[in-house]
């Protein structure tokens, strides 16, 4: 399955054509089919190789469990068949394996039901809230208890009311071990808080999401040339010297995250009634800068990180920045379309179609080499349905927010 290349006769917006919408539905279907074998006998999930067979490792990380629950809950809402087993198995594993009965909260890594990495990370806990919110929209009976528990832990251990932001990490017994503050956990915190608001209607979630967005998108981004630094001190000052794990805490800025922030800003703006507060301009500025800095002019794709001058620092090309670019361009086309938005939207899908989508087996390759071929430098197998599935599903919703309710009201299958 390949996407038809737009010739000069193509006019208008792909999102308005039945051909493109059918293509998106088919791509989403292929992803659901590919990842169904993730279910592991005895609980939890496998990570799948390129061929769809389980990889040998039995280590399961919190974001993997939660993202599968979220993704298949969205599929269930959209009318996709055979999603319940993954939702049920993931919800059970979150409660029985990841949840720490001794100290509370959710541990990062579990191996055959035993704790392998007991750290308590904001990044992981916000995904627990996301899983609970999506499961609630899908009607799961255990969703409320997961939402309540995750919210309680986030309130008590991670939310900093004085800053209106989330701090990052604790040991298993809630002993502090660093003063690190990060953008990434807060970004996914916004995602989870907005989903929780959509699932429950509680204003607290929407308010907190707005406070986080205000800091990064209205205070930080404009002063940094519309780029968003990754790392901060304990007092939330930009830490320009920080250089942690080059995969998960790289130095500098990450254009893929800027694109993700912009979509979340538009989602929040839609939920609060689309006020005339400059949101569209901010989102456009952030998106334009990320694409200008991040798009590899010679080979296509979006580079991973930038230095402080906006030049590529880690030029590796992963699948997820392209999916996030597709998501925000679709949101801009839905909200306030321009010809340039459409140009980018088509370019991104055509690049993904040519280099990341596995047409033979399903799913997306997570990284490509300098020649545009799949490689395994950082990732084993196909580790995630979440990013690429949302790239296919969200444009089909036809709105900026309330994806779950939209799919439930008008199923795609």
- The active-site residue out of 3, 76, 355, 387 is 387
Q: In whole angstroms, what separates CA 277 from the centre of its chain?
A: 25
Rounded Cα gap, residues 367 and 146, in angstroms: 33
Is residue 255 within 8 Å of 262, Cβ to Cβ? no
Q: In whole angstroms, what separates CA 162 from the centre of its chain?
A: 27
- The active-site residue out of 63, 70, 76, 257 is 257
Instruction: Supply the angle between the helices 279-294 and 319-335 in degrees, to the nearest 10.
Output: 150
Q: Indicate the pairing of strand 109-111 with strand 159-160.
A: unpaired
Q: What are phi and psi of 387, to 5 degrees?
A: -65, -50
Instruction: Give the torsion sign (CA, 405, 348, 272, 127).
Output: positive
Q: Is 46 a catalytic site residue? A: no
Question: Over the range 73-104, which residues count as b (16 or more CB within 10 Å of their CB) and which as e?
Answer: bbbbbbebeebeebbbbbbebbbebbbbeeee
What DSSP designation does 364 have?
Answer: B
| H/E stretch holding 278 | none
What DSSP designation does 242 have?
Answer: -
Q: Is 387 a catalytic site residue? A: yes
Q: Which residues are catalytic?
A: 257, 387
């Amino acid at each position: 399955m390949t996407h038809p290349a737009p010739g000069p006769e193509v006019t208008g917006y792909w999102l308005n054509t039945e051909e493109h919408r059918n293509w998106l539905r088919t791509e989403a279907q292929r992803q659901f089919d590919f990842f169904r074998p993730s279910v592991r006998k005895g609980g939890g999930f496998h990570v799948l190789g390129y061929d769809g067979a389980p990889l040998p490792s039995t280590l399961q990380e919190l974001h993997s469990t939660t993202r599968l629950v979220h993704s298949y809950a969205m599929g269930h809402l959209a009318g996709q068949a055979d999603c319940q087993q993954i939702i049920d198995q993931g919800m059970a594993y979150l409660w029985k394996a990841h949840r720490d009965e001794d100290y509370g909260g959710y541990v990062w890594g579990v191996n055959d039901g035993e704790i392998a990495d007991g750290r308590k990370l904001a990044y992981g806990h916000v995904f627990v809230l996301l899983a609970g919110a999506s499961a609630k929209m899908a009607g799961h009976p255990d969703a409320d208890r997961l939402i309540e528990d995750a919210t309680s832990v986030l309130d008590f251990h991670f939310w900093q009311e004085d800053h209106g932001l989330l701090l990052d990490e604790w040991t298993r017994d809630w002993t502090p071990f660093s003063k690190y503050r990060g953008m990434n956990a807060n970004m996914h915190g916004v995602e989870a808080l907005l989903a929780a608001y959509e699932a429950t209607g509680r204003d607290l979630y929407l308010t907190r999401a707005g406070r986080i967005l205000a800091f990064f998108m209205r205070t930080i981004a404009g002063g940094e040339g519309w780029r968003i630094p990754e790392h901060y001190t304990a007092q939330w000052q930009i830490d320009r010297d920080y250089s942690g794990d080059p995969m998960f805490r790289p130095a500098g800025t990450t254009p893929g995250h800027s694109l993700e922030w912009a979509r979340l800003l538009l989602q929040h703006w839609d939920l609060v009634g689309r006020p005339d507060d400059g949101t569209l301009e901010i989102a456009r500025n952030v998106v334009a800068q990320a694409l200008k800095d991040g798009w590899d002019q010679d080979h296509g794709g979006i580079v991973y990180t930038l230095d402080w001058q906006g030049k590529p620092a880690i030029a590796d090309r992963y699948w997820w920045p392209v999916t996030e670019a597709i998501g925000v361009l679709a949101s801009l086309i839905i909200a306030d379309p321009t010809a340039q938005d459409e140009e980018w939207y088509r370019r991104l899908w055509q690049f993904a179609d040519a280099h990341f989508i596995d047409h033979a087996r399903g799913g997306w390759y997570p990284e490509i080499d300098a020649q545009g071929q799949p490689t395994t430098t950082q990732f084993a197998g196909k580790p995630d349905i979440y990013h690429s599935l949302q790239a296919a599903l969200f444009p089909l919703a036809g709105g900026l927010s309330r994806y779950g309710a939209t799919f439930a009201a008008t199923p795609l299958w």
